[in-house]
Amino acid sequence: MKVAIASDHRGFALKGKIITTLSQLGHESLDLGTDSSDSVDYPDFASKVAVVISQSRADRGILICGTGIGMCIVANKYPHVRAACCHDDLTAEMSRRHNDTNVLCLSSDLLGDRLVTRMVEIWLATEFEAGRHSRRIDKIEKIEEERLKTLE
């Protein structure tokens, strides 16, 4: 699986650890920055991953900032992106199982390394259940299509 990943300055160290985990799991990483712990604006990096996911140039994306919330807000502005800010094993699993998320947003300040590793493993391994959940995802996609038409 190809996973686009980015962080702001607060998530920089954790991003490196996640890239190592992705490699150990046999996945390809597309590192879209930031490249240091120097202060940057999270919307710039959330947008980079969201564009790649929106254009189907990667299978999934991971975004990291202090809380994960800002990254999630930005990512969900893009078509075909379903980002979730997860904080434990269950939210990581259910975001995939029921919502078919393609972007995982994480907090560098509130989550420990072992928990993050476990969440990434679960999120990558969990399949979308489809069934009744497909109907709901279809409705989300229809809302996106209608919004895009009104912006043209």
CA within 13 Å, CB half, 112:
3
Q: What is the widest separation between alpha-carbon atoms in the chain? A: 45
Percent of the chain at pLDDT > 70 equals 100
Question: What DSSP line would sit under 48-116, residue for residue?
Answer: HHHHHHHTTSSSEEEEEESSSHHHHHHHTTSTT--EEE--SHHHHHHHHHTT--SEEEEETTTS-HHHH
> What's residue 147's pLDDT?
85
Mean pLDDT, residues 35-40 taken together: 98
Q: What does the pLDDT look like over 43-57, one tens digit per residue? A: 999 999 999 999 999
pLDDT over 80 (residue 152): no
Mean pLDDT, residues 25-30 taken together: 98
pTM to 2 decimal places:
0.96
Tell me how far CA of residue 51 lies from CA of 13, 26, 89, 112, 133, in angstroms: 23, 24, 27, 28, 25
Q: What does the pLDDT look like over 13-27, one tens digit per residue? A: 999 999 999 999 999
Closest CA to 62 of 114, 110, 17, 127: 17
Kindly list the structural domains of the chain, giving each domain's residue range(s) and its CATH number in brackets, ordered by start.
2-151 (3.40.1400.10)
Residues serving a catalytic function are: 65, 98
* Beta-carbon count within 10 A of 83 CB: 28
pLDDT over 90 (residue 142): yes
> What's residue 148's pLDDT?
83
Mean pLDDT, residues 88-96 taken together: 98
Mean pLDDT, residues 125-136 taken together: 95
Angle 146-56-129 (CA atoms, 0-180°, nearest 5)? 80
What are 53's two structure tokens? Answer: 């996911």
